[in-house]
Amino acid sequence: MISLDRVNARAGEFRLVDISFEVPDGGYGVVIGTAGAGKTTLLETIAGVIPVTSGRVSLGGRDCTSQPPEQRGLGIVYQHAYLFPHLSVRENIAYGAASEEDAREITERFGLGSLAERSVDALSGGERQLVAIARALARRPSVLLLDEPFSALDPRSRNSARRLLRAVYEERRFTALQVTHDFAEAGLLGDVAIVLDGGRVVQSGAPEIVFRQPASAYIADFLGAENVFAGVVSLAPSDAATGSWSVSDEYAQRALVFTTGELTFFAISDVAEGPAHAVIRAEEVSISVDDSRSSIAATASMSSVRNQFRGRILEIASTGALSHVTVEASGTPIVAAVTGVSVQELGLAVGKEVGVAFKATAVHLC
Amino acid sequence: MAGFLLGMERAATQSTPPGSTVASRAVLSVIVAVLSSLFLLFIVAPMVGVVSAGGAKGIIAVGTDAELRAALLLTAVTATIATLLGILGATPLAYLLARRAFPGRAIVAAVMDLPLVIPHPVAGIALLLVLGRGSPAGAALYAAGIRVAGSPVGIVCAMLFVSAPLYVSAARETFARVDKRYEAVARTLGDDAWRAFRRVTLPLSARGLTAAAVVMWARAVSEFGAIVILTYNPKVASVLSYERFTSYGLSEALPVAAVLVLFSLVPLVVLRGLLGGDAGRWWNGGTVER
């Protein structure tokens, strides 16, 4: 377990302020934040490389606040590997290994056997990162800290390294905390997501919650939510007229309407009426066309989906198999993520009139 | 100067129309080349002059002149001892200055540069005051059977005083160049601070530290001002060349001077060749790449 309780630390002019979060035993935490948010400082504070000025750092239930790094039973892997350049691959992996057998086993497992006697200067970026991960794992740490370990790798090496690390993690179930700026990676890996900004934790929780229900428009924007609207929340007409079952309970979910510019849509939330932001993930937005020749039926008007609008396609941006289609509805651009096949089958093109739809439950108000 | 000229060149490039840019650059390049060559000539010409005028005689004198041989041996031994003491005492200080933020760090760094800026005879007088028999420290050393003034110990002290700051400065830069995160990784791999220093920082700094030690040794070998105040006799090579000059004139001083130039140059050149890489860059630039 990694537990931080109101931790304050200082690295030069930068400060971590009142950091509190917990990654359970055997859990995989991900730290997300922009450059300069304090992600690396946070890891180094947990590692004991940067001293804590106040608060408490506990690892595996043990208070480690004043322990030096070598007594914390953890490993750290930096973005730039920091392999010892005066040592060979084998010597790097064996540097702090729990045993020779552990070093040998992890070397073979990571496919580094043929590189063992090489100088680390002769390695590719992907190989260097694998050696750095292997070196940390050879020590059999109970906590592994990973500072964007895959960010400098090409997609193929990244997937391979991620897979190898994941396999060891599944087997050994150490507690991991990984810094990433890639939310897809965070969602893929993490049990707990910690969003850091300006040296403070601005949100933490299960990745899907952080992803779907960001605590602020800033987080939503940072996390890459394509549809973030500023507007005003008010009670849905039916609730306002009849007095809903939920109105008396200030924490209960209520049917609300959100108005942004000319566009008004339904949402279910417990937020108070007044100014707010609405976040809708592009994956939650569907597109339909009134075209009987289309192989996909245009059923939006007959569905339970509460929010349905007509609009024209402004832009289609293709990123591999996925396309982001921007539709202007009542003067507001709404982005939908659809497959390339759908784009073809629906005959989507810039300027074409289409229907866009998303459920009230897909709208996150913050 | 070169930086100033490059700045001028940049300014000229920015402010002149494109048509005249090439001509301006050519003129500035010629100015830079001429000034650099003149400066290089100013440094090299005296040494070449001494070696060419007295080199052959000097080499012969090494075989025939017992006083010169003794002076060279004394110089080499005392410079080596001073350098070893410098490495021992100044390496931790250089590491602290490079790695740790502590109150008064800037003052300590400035104090370490002081011997470089004060006239060396003044350094000798200061050392005589502190380590001479009339001082408490000098008296204590004398009581322990160690005479500083007028002995090889005094030569070592003078050499250490004037040349150690060069080692501290270079060693500090060398340590600063080794990313702290190597140590951080070593610590998380089970090393305590000393073990991480020994297994990681020291090997990664070895070339720079060796280069720093060589520079310190060469500076110690060439020291005259502080030594002549503290220990005129026994004579090191620099004092001998001075004595020969004042007593017998230029022709007698030249062979000793030429041997001393070669004596100082050869280890630097050889070590630069041996070390290459970092030391070469350090030696080339006089500043350190980060």
Asked if the Cβ–Cβ distance from B190 to A70 is below 8 Å, we say: yes
Q: What is the pLDDT of residues B20-66, one digit of tens each?
A: 788 888 999 999 999 999 999 999 999 899 999 988 888 898 889 99
Residues of B in contact with A48 (CB under 8 A): 187
Please tell me if residue A86 touches chain B, with a CB cutoff of 8 Å.
yes
Check A136 against B187: CB less than 8 A apart.
no
In this complex, the residue of B187, B200, B204 whose CB is nearest that of residue A68 is B187
Show which of residues 125-154 on chain A sit within 8 Å of chain B, judged by CB atoms.
Answer: 135-136, 139, 141
From B36's Cα to the closest Cα of chain A, the distance in A is 37
Residue B191: its chain A contacts at CB < 8 A?
A: 70, 96
Q: What is the pLDDT along chain B (290 residues), one digit of tens a residue?
A: 444 444 444 544 455 555 678 888 899 999 999 999 999 999 999 989 999 998 888 889 888 999 999 999 999 999 999 999 999 999 999 999 999 888 999 999 999 988 888 999 999 999 999 998 888 998 999 899 999 989 999 999 999 999 999 999 999 999 999 999 999 999 999 999 999 999 999 999 998 999 899 999 999 999 999 999 999 999 999 999 999 999 999 989 999 999 988 888 877 787 777 666 544 444 444 333 33
Strands of the sheet containing A286-288, edge to edge, are A286-288, A353-358, A307-319, A322-329, A332-339
pLDDT computed for residue A243 by the predictor: 43
Q: From the candidates A46, A70, A147, which should be mutated to test the interface with B, based on the most B CB atoms within 10 A?
A: A70
Q: Is residue A128 a contact partner of residue A117, using CB atoms and an 8 Å limit?
A: no
State the pLDDT at residue A174: 95
pTM score > 0.80 for this model?
no
CB B243 within 8 A of CB B269: no
Give the pLDDT of residue A209.
79
ipTM metric: 0.72
Per-residue pLDDT of chain A (366 residues; tens, 9 = 90+): 999 999 999 998 899 999 999 999 999 999 988 888 899 999 999 999 999 999 999 999 999 999 999 999 999 999 999 999 999 999 999 999 999 999 999 999 999 999 999 999 999 988 999 999 999 999 999 999 999 988 878 878 888 888 889 899 999 999 999 998 766 666 666 788 899 999 999 999 887 778 777 887 777 777 777 888 888 999 887 654 444 444 444 446 788 999 999 999 999 988 888 888 888 888 899 999 975 544 444 444 567 888 999 999 999 988 778 899 999 999 999 999 999 899 999 999 999 999 999 999 889 887
Measured between CB atoms, which of B181, B191, B204 is closest to A70? B191
Yes or no, beta carbons of A96 and B181 under 8 Å apart: no
**One-character DSSP codes across chain B:** -HHHHHHHHHHHHHHS-HHHHHHHHHHHHHHHHHHHHHHHHHHHHHHHHHHHHHHHHHHHHHHH-HHHHHHHHHHHHHHHHHHHHHHHHHHHHHHHHHH---TTHHHHHHHHHHHHHS-HHHHHHHHHHHHSTTSHHHHHHHHTT---TTSHHHHHHHHHHHHHHHHHHHHHHHHHHS-HHHHHHHHHTT--HHHHIIIIIHHHHHHHHHHHHHHHHHHHHH--HHHHHH--SSPPHHHHHHHHHHHH-HHHHHHHHHHHHHHHHHHHHHHHHHH-HHHHHHHHHSS---
Predicted pLDDT of residue A241: 47
Q: What is the pLDDT of residue A4?
A: 96
Residue A159, min C-alpha distance to chain B (Å):
24
Q: B-chain residues within 8 Å CB-CB of A44?
A: 184
Nearest to A69 among B182, B184, B203 (CB): B184
Q: Is the peptide bond before A69 cis (omega within 30 degrees of 0)?
A: no
Token pair of B87, please? Answer: 């490495």
Residue B2: the pLDDT is 43
Residues of B near A (Cβ–Cβ under 8 Å) read 179, 181-182, 184-193, 199-200, 203-204
